[in-house]
Amino acid sequence: MFRHFFHTKRKIVIELNERYFDKNSFMHAVVQHLKNEGKQCEMIDVNTLLVDGKKYYLYETNVAATYCPPVQRAVLTEMN
C-alpha cells in the first residue's frame, strides 16, 4: 500500500503505491498506515489528524516522474 515513510521534526510524508481519488478513502488509508506503524491516530475532520497526541494538517501532493505515473504523497504538517 505504501512505498516508504519518513518524517522530520514537524512533518510526516508518506508515499502511496495506490491512488486515492476521494478525500475520505485517502484519509482512511493514511490513518490505517499510521496505526500499522504503531502510532495512535484518529481523524478530527477531513483535513486534520491527531497522531500520538499532536494535531497534523493533512494535504496531498503529486510528484511527477519521467517514465512512470505520478506518485501520490500524504504530507502531514504539525499544527501549533
Mean pLDDT over 15-34 rounds to 90
Q: How many CB atoms lie within 10 A of CB 63?
A: 9
Model-level pTM greater than 0.75?
A: yes
Higher pLDDT, 68 or 53: 53
Q: Where are the alpha helices (DSSP H) in the chain?
A: 23-36
Query: How far apart are alpha carbons 40 and 54 in whole angstroms?
Result: 10
Distance between CA atoms of 75 and 61, rounded to whole angstroms? 7
CA–CA distance, 9 with 25 (Å, rounded to integer): 26
